[in-house]
Structure 1
Amino acid sequence: MALATSDMTMSYARLHHLADRHADALMSARGPAGPVAVVCDTDGGAIPLVLGALRTGRPVVLLPGGPTASVRETSLRYTGCSRIAWPGARPEDVRVELLEPSAEAPLSEASLVFCTSGSTGHPKLVPLGDPALCRFADWASARFGIGEGTKVLSYAPLNFDLSLLEVWTTLSRGGTVIGATGPALRDAERLARLVGKWQPEVIEGVPVLYERLARGLPALAADGAPTARHVIMTGDNTPQPTRRAVREMFPSATYYNVYGSTETNDSLVAVLDGEQMVADHVPLGEPLPGVDIRLVADDGGELAGPGVAELYVVTPFQTAGYIDPAGRYDGSFVEGGRDGPGAFGSTYFRSGDLVERRSDGSLWFVGRRDFRVKVRGVSVDLEDVEDVLLRMDAVVEAVALPWNGSGDTSVAAVIRTDPDRTVSSVEVRRFCASRVEPAAVPFRIVFADRPLPRTSTGKIDRNAAVRFLPAPSRTTAPAD
């Protein structure tokens, strides 16, 4: 069996048949040659559609389901897609729309192109070629015992890099993808019922997956209790209460904290025991085979001993660089050697993460050095959120900050409005919701009755602005 969801199963024979059918539909649609974009809606039909797109031999751009218009427009323009495909109501259905390619960068070496959240219209387009994909599948299948018949839960959308393990590694090894689709994605009880019914052996996810499972699993009978062998936590730093819940839900599993990014894929892994699962924090772990890491200080020098610096990483699974003709992300990749960290011939990704190396050599996540934060596994650029807030007519000043009031990071906004105009929190969220991805919509909104504090250079003083927020969120703001 290739795929199982709450309401359907699919054999490998059926999956291959549908993939061939979709490939024929994509190729028969007359139009110029070029990459194919697939909208990764959250149902079982997206998997055979992506496979069909891959069988055309063209690069496949994975678009999030329901992306904002600006995210889709930027993605299609930069990748030069010649057609875009949507899964239908049934796995065999597909809708294909022809496009006029306007490529500003070639995709000759790419097989899959991941489209990151693009929280406010500036998605990062991350191409991966076959060699990187194959090397990742080799590592993941060996590390987590994924082989013929292994059941692996798929919770992340197909345009997330987590799908490399959950879907593509699983299918490449003859395993079964247990797909959380439709209502099971957001309904805790339905998600728990899916896990209880199919008993996946490998579960991977960002904190929200485990939080929903913890709410839904108590409703299951004892014989439906999950029996996963490997439980993988990702998304930078899973909160302690969530880790406690994971240990209670999966008492006999092996626990992992995996660090990585869409650009490099999995980079570090820590195997955690029961005590570590309930500690205040968990380590980032050891580099995967073939991975090299460097801690680089602000002056460009490498940190040799204990201390805090930015993590640079190179992996066998990483992208060669963004599809970014606008140059928005110049400097994200650094050549190793005389003028850079590490060895000649290696291209390091600047993670933007501040990492502490302790005296025993262990690595610990400290925070971000830029204005990006992870919200339930989704990267959000706080400066871009501010740009959207300032588009509101009534808003004079705005600053977006990480909010940790409930134990998980979300976005908070401090706003000063025109004294002669009023705006409500509901109006702010509604305005943002039509322009940004859900993770970027401010969860906490505070209206300031005085000008926001500024630094000596005239920028909003983020660390001072944190004081406008209630006490639970008063953690270090992203560095200016």
Structure 2
Amino acid sequence: MTQTGTRSLHAPEFLHEFLLWHAAARPDQAAVLERSASGVFRAVSYGELRTHAEEYADTLAGLDLDVGDRVVVDSDTSSAAIALLIACSMLGLTYVPVSPEAPDARVLAVAEAAGAVLHLQPDDGRREPLCPTRGRGRFGPDGLRIEQLPPVTLCRRAALTQTDPAYIVFTSGTTGRPKGVVMSHRAVLAFFRGMLTYSIVGPDDRVATTSPLQFDFSLLDIGLALGSGATVVPVPRAVLRWPRRFLGFLGDSAATQVNGAPSVWRAALRHEPERLGRLGELRGILYSGESFPLAELRRLRELRPGIRIVNCYGSTESIACTFTDVPDPVPDDGPGIPIGVAHPGAELLLIDEHGRPVHGAGSRGELYLRSPALFTGYWDDPEATSAALVPDPVEPRSGQILYRTGDLAYRGEDGLFYFTGRRDSQVKIRGNRVELTEVERRLMDFPGVTAAVALVLGQPVEQTRLCVFVATSLDSDTTVAQVAAFCRLTLPEYMIPAELHLVEELPVTVNGKVDRAALAARYATDVA
């Protein structure tokens, strides 16, 4: 197989070219700053990153794999994992990241669903061999070591193209089968180029990434940092569970930009606000995945005046599509923080339930995305793909395909979009349509409430109940009776929760989003 070169005078066309674009001009600039198990920080330069990637690619090239073959990378974010991503791109191999924290059954399900030919993990990885017929190996600073050769495949391809898959991110599918989102080189680069127009970071920044590698937000962080000539700073997963250690890591690494779900800040704001306020190098935060409670945003502003906070909206199917600066000061009331408009080169549309475009401020509809950064489809699932990638509702004769996001929004008087919830989060309570997100937003207006989640629980259908879980600040003496009284004053009768539960904190998934399934399980246990 012919290896695609990493030095080029033309604009990047492939993922590896984009990520190594600054290696030629600034080979000594730190590309990744990571902390070892002993606590020592080590910088890996752009030149070293390129060398590691080329060495990995040389080893992979000797396996006679075909363009498009899938490689499962079972790792946290590290310089070695990023080098392996680049190496796979060089050879046209499709990168399939999974988490070392995931159970064996989940990783095996992903590998089998993807038809992966190779399973790779770091030198210190603890995963036992998953399948005797699948190739496996280990990688690290000293190179890539193949422990079992992959099965012989028929090489049918001669060259890598921009439409070939760069990676597949597997998310939870509604059928219980992992759902693979296929992203091409062309789509990934279209997104990265749109993102860089916002000048979120520069060459002198250190971008702390808190998302696990198998979550597409981590790939956003890598592209944002390396595409800007900045430094990626992977935050160890164990550090995130302890606010003092998390803030200590940010201080020790001199991180200037921190990206992640809003939940990464909740414990720090709750338990270590003074320490957070002393992060003198921190000048930027980018969040995504969920809404950031306004009270917590205001507290962040108080602790770090002048900091730039960016609300990033989107989904795995396009990585993201909007970047909007949070106002300073954070508004006390009103519609909340807008998600803005699509990045340059893309467009968001509002479509009503009859498939017609929605115009005018205040009108609500479902968001459709027109973009060159759209995913190719769901791996081995044409039915789900055709439901998400649909003909252009404005001009269906064009053959153009748009992504139906499933998100509901409206356009404000300012021309910006405001997210209101998910199409599938609309539920019926006693015959009335209820948007769960609206209930959650209303509860967030109560003083002392830091987070709220609304769920419809119970079986059978006629016995379902609207239940709300509310987390409050440490210094709050909020009671269930007070919150219930607030609901009666501010919500229609059919939207008033049947049950209210005060909790110290809300459980989160490995991706940093509220774990609604865990809350439902807790409720079921309490009922039993």
User: Does TM-score exceed 0.5, indicating one fold?
Assistant: yes
Matches within 5 A, 1:184-199: 184-199=239-254
Identify the residue that residue 17 of structure 1 maps to in structure 2.
Answer: 51
Cα deviation digits, residues 374-428 of structure 1 (max 9, x gap): 99xxxxxx99xx9xx99xxxx99997988542279xxxxxxxxxxxxxxxxxxxx
Give the counterpart letter for 2:83 in structure 1.
P
Larger relative contact order, structure 1 or 2 (CA cutoff 8 Å, min sep 6): 1
Distance in 2, Cα, partners of 1:80 & 1:101 = 13
Q: Please tell me the residue identity of whatever aligns with 2:518.
A: P
Give the whole-Å Cα distance in 1 for the aligned partners of 2:102 and 2:463: 25
Q: C-alpha displacement at 1:312, in angstroms?
A: 0.8
Offset at 1:311? 0.9
* 1:295/1:303 contact within 8 Å kept: yes
Contact 1:35 1:60 in 2 (8 A): yes
Partner of 1:414: none
Instruction: Name the SS of the counterpart of 2:229 in structure 1.
Output: coil
TM-score by length of 2: 0.65
Q: Which residue of 1 is the match for residue 518 of structure 2?
A: 442
Q: Distance in 2 between matches of 1:53 and 1:327?
A: 29
Long gaps (5+) in structure 2: 1-29, 125-139, 427-435, 441-454, 474-508
Separation (CA, whole Å) in 2 of partners of 1:245 and 1:67: 34
Tell whether the 8 Å contact from 1:82 to 1:98 is kept in structure 2 after alignment: no
Q: Secondary structure at the match of 2:297?
A: helix
Aligned to 1:406: 471
Paired residue type of 2:379: I
Within 2, Cα distance between the matches of 1:39 and 1:322?
Answer: 21
The residue aligned with 1:168 is 223
- Pairing 1:47-446 to 2, within 5 Å after superposition: 47-69=82-104, 71-89=106-124, 91-92=141-142, 109-118=164-173, 121-215=176-270, 217-218=272-273, 220=275, 224-276=278-330, 278-279=332-333, 281-305=336-360, 306-325=362-381, 327-336=383-392, 340=396, 344-370=398-424, 403-406=468-471, 439=515, 441-444=517-520, 445-446=522-523
C-alpha spacing 1:277/1:185, structure 2 compared with 1 (3 Å):
farther
Over 3 Å counting, the alpha-carbon distance change for 1:52 and 1:109 in structure 2 is: closer
SS in 2 for 1:257: strand
Task: Tell me: CA distance 1:41–1:202, structure 2 relative to 1, closer, same or farther (3 Å).
Answer: closer
Q: Are the equivalent residues in 2 in contact too, given 1:46–1:91 (CA < 8 A)?
A: no
Alpha-carbon spacing, 1:269–1:11, altered in 2? closer, same or farther (3 Å): closer
Distance 2:344 2:54 in 1: 35
In the TM superposition, residue 68 of structure 1 has moved relative to its aligned partner by 4.3
Structure 1 residue identity aligned to 2:43:
M
2:258 touches 2:285 (CA, 8 Å); kept in 1? yes
The answer to whether the Cα contact below 8 Å between 1:207 and 1:242 also exists between their aligned partners in 2 is: no
| Whole-angstrom distance in 2 between the partners of 1:440 and 1:338 | 36
- SS of the aligned residue for 2:321 comes to strand
Q: Give the superposition deviation at 1:57.
A: 2.7
Once the two structures are TM-superposed, the CA of residue 41 in structure 1 deviates from its matched residue by 2.7
Gaps of 5+ in 1: 376-381, 409-432, 450-467, 469-480
* Residues 230-282 of structure 1: CA deviation (Å, up to 9, x unaligned): 32222241122321232134311222222111112222232222233554621
Counterpart of 1:426 in structure 2 is: none
Distance 1:206 1:125, change over 3 A: same
Residue 460 of structure 1: aligned partner: none
Match of residue 26, structure 1, among 52, 60, 68:
60
**Could you say if the C-alpha distance between residues 147 and 131 of structure 1 is closer, same or farther in structure 2, counting changes exceeding 3 Å?**
farther
User: Which amino acid in structure 2 is aligned with residue 14 of structure 1?
Assistant: E
Task: Indicate the percent of aligned positions where both proteins have the same amino acid.
Answer: 24
Contact 2:408 2:422 in 1 (8 A): yes
SS of the aligned residue for 1:84 comes to strand
- The root-mean-square deviation of aligned C-alpha atoms, in Å, is 4.1
Q: Give the equivalent residue in structure 2 for 1:430.
A: none
| Other structure's SS at 1:192 match | helix
Aligned to 2:190, the other structure's residue is in SS state helix
Question: Bigger CA drift: 309-318 or 30-39?
Answer: 30-39
> CA contact under 8 A between 2:209 and 2:235: conserved in structure 1?
yes
Q: Distance in 2 between matches of 1:440 and 1:262?
A: 19
Write the distance in 2 (CA, Å) between the matches of 1:31 and 1:293.
39
Aligned length: 405
Letter in 2 for 1:269: F
Structure 2 CA distance for partners of 1:367 and 1:173, relative to 1, 3 Å: closer
Q: Which moved more, 1:285-294 or 1:272-281?
A: 272-281
Residues 282 and 173 of structure 1: is their aligned pair in 2 closer, same or farther, counting only changes over 3 Å? closer
How many Å separate the matches in 1 of 2:462 and 2:393?
44
SS of aligned partner of 2:292: coil
Task: Classify 1:339/1:87 alpha carbon distance in 2 versus 1 (closer, same or farther; 3 Å).
Answer: same
The one-letter code sitting in structure 2 at the alignment partner of 1:405 is V
* 1:258–1:266 Cα contact (<8 Å) kept: yes
